[in-house]
Each structure stands twice: as C-alpha cells, then as structure tokens.
Amino acid sequence: MKLDTSTSFSQVLGIDLPLVQGPFGGGLSTVELAATVAQNGGLGSFGAHSLDGDGISDVVSSIKAQTDRAFALNLWVADHDQGGDDMSVETFDRAWQIYEPYFREFGLEQPEPPKHYHPRFEDQIDALIEARPHAFSFVFGIPSAAILEKCRKSGIITIGAATTPAEVEALDTAGVDAMVASGFEAGGHRPSFIESAEASLMGTAVLVRLAVTKTKKPIIAAGGIADATGIRSALAAGAQAAQLGTAFIACKESGTADIHREVLFSGRTQRTVLTRSYTGRLARGIPNRVIAEFDKRAGELPPFPIHGWFVGKLKAAAMAANIEDFVSLYAGQAAPLLKHRTASALVAAIREEL
C-alpha cells in the first residue's frame, strides 16, 4: 500500500519525503552527502559542531551551491562537560600520561596544548544564523530564547533533540519548531541534557508514542531505523518524519573511513555497545580496541572534549594506517539491515518502497 508521505513537517521544509539524514560531527559529514539527500527529496544535514564560524559559512555556501533544496546544520549547545574547559598546563600534562603509550605506538610526538579543545557554541551560532540554512538542528541542550527568536526572524526552522519525555516538554516550552525523539537504539552520541545519558535510555517506539502526547510540534523518530519499513513504523506511531543515521554514514558520500564502512556491512554489526571511550560522551558503536582500552579506564579519563581531542589524533593516525583500532565505529542497532552504499540509492529505495 502506498503511504501518504506528506506531513506538516515535510510541507514546512518543502521536502518530498518524511526523511531526515542524521548529522555527523568530527569530519564525518560532507557537503556532498547533505546536498545529495536534499536534492533527492529528504532533509540533508551537516554536523558542524567542530567548525569555527568561517568553516560554518563555507559549508553553508558550498551546500547551497549544489542544491536549492532544504538542509539543516547541526551544533552542540553544550560544548563541554564539567571540567572540560580546563585549559591549564597541569590538566593537559595529567591527561597526556594516559594517552602517551598509544601516541608512541603510532610514532606520534606529544602534541602542543591547543588554544581550545572544541569551538564554543557562542562563537558558532552567529555565523550559522548569518549563513541561514533552512533548518538549525541541535543536541545537548536548548539554545537561549534570544537565539531561537533570531532563528525565527531569519526564517530558520529549529529542531531540537530529546531522549526522554521531559526533554520533549522542555523543548516544547522553549518554542522549538520540531523535535528529534532519539531512542537508545541509535548510533552515535546520546544527546541527553536533563539527566545523564545513562539515566535517559528509552527505546524509540515508546519515546515517540509518549512524545506525541507531550507536544503538538512535529516529532522526528530516530534510532533503529534504516529503511522504509522503519519509517512506516515511525509514522504509524505518530512521528511526522524519521531520521536515519547509520544507513547514511555507510554511504560512500559520507566522510567516514572505508574501514568503518566495511565493518558496517559485516556480521560485526550484530553487536553494538554504549561507550564513553570515543569522545567522553556516551555513544553507540561497534566494539573495537579504543573501547576495550578506555572503557576499563573510564574513571581516569578527562571529560569531554579533552578526551575526544586526544583520541581524535589517535583516530586520524589509525585511519591513515588503515587500521580500525582507534576509529569510532559508530553504528545503531539496525545496522544489520543496511543494503545501500550510496545516498542516492538509499533515498531512491525508500521513495519506491513508501
């Protein structure tokens, strides 16, 4: 049976399908991926949380040069955890002792302390509003009322992320235009902001059902969705769109390493775990050495983004050597369902099946 794919969410953004491409940070998003999804009728997304203002402006310009369809830019509202903004020499040296053996293993020297471990949200948001993507999606909190008002005046649709009904209510009260209901099945980071991520683990189906009782705003289901069947289920539960992450990160247009894609199409996707070993914030991925090494030392690790900064350099070295040891193998629980290796083929299959 053909499904009516027109929802108020898709109508507002002028997209053909109730489909959102999940945003990926850390260089995993690409202009090509976001533009391809947008051009084929979904909402393309770009995770820009690691970019400064100039980088954000350049990305938006580049996507607009490739498509006139809607796309979203994503930022992290909370850019550090408690203690994660400590730039002291003592903190850096203490952290270095944890990572030094792994750096030496890859032939890497001790890096110079950075000017900052992560761009500040306050320094990014003005550039985003000025660049005017069609939508601004965000995780790990809620922007200020002033920022949300600036987005409204600029015609930018705001999309927050929630992992619990309480977070849905908070986003609704703040006046956010739409909300991603992110179930614990999802790959990548858990974007909780009221309680800890570990205390906010709710499945997608239940979260969506409860979310639609808390708000009249559009709900976007995320987590455990990799195909048209998953989208149908999400819409039947009351969502107005579905967000697919792992299915798109597996496509050749994403910025991940080929070794990550190979794992995503292997039998190893049958098991995923939640871990803080990738960045210091809870995320779902496929077990490998970075998880084995750092999960057992969780109590020693510095907070986000300090841990993520050090691991990022190990990840780059591992990718250059074409080994997966320190690569963040992000994957959701629906990864065994993956079939398509290009974004255009994935969206075309979803369109046909819906």
What order do you get walking across the sheet with 219-222 strand by strand? 19-21, 241-244, 219-222, 178-182, 157-162, 135-139, 71-76, 44-47
Q: In b/e form, how buried is each residue of 231-244, taking b as 16+ CB within 10 angstroms?
A: bbbbbebebbbbbb
201, pLDDT greater than 70:
yes
Give the predicted TM-score (pTM) of the model: 0.96
18, pLDDT greater than 60:
yes
pLDDT in tens, 157-195: 999 999 999 999 999 999 999 999 999 999 999 999 999
- What's the chain's average pLDDT? 97
pLDDT at 3: 58
Nearest to 20 by CA among 47, 1, 2: 47
The 8-class DSSP code of residue 43 comes to B
Rounded average pLDDT over 194-212: 98
153, pLDDT greater than 90:
yes
pLDDT at 2: 56
Is the domain defined by 8-80+118-255+337-353 classed in CATH 3.40.1440.60?
no
pLDDT in tens, 57-74: 999 999 999 999 999 999
**Residues comprising the chain, all counted:** 354
Band of pLDDT at residue 84, cut at 50, 70 and 90: very high
Band of pLDDT at residue 273, cut at 50, 70 and 90: very high
- How much of the chain, in percent, has pLDDT values that exceed 90? 97
| DSSP assignment of 2-40 | ------HHHHHHT-SSSEEEPP-TTTT--HHHHHHHHHT
Reduced to 3 states, what is the DSSP secondary structure of residue 44? Answer: strand
140, pLDDT greater than 70:
yes
93, pLDDT greater than 60:
yes
pLDDT at 6: 80
Take residue 257 and report the two structure tokens written for it: 């390493």
Helices (H), the chain: 8-13, 31-39, 53-66, 89-105, 121-131, 145-153, 165-174, 204-214, 228-236, 246-249, 258-264, 289-295, 306-320, 343-353
Rounded average pLDDT over 205-221: 98
pLDDT in tens, 309-331: 999 999 999 999 999 999 999 99
Take residue 88 and report the two structure tokens written for it: 């002291």
pLDDT at 308: 98
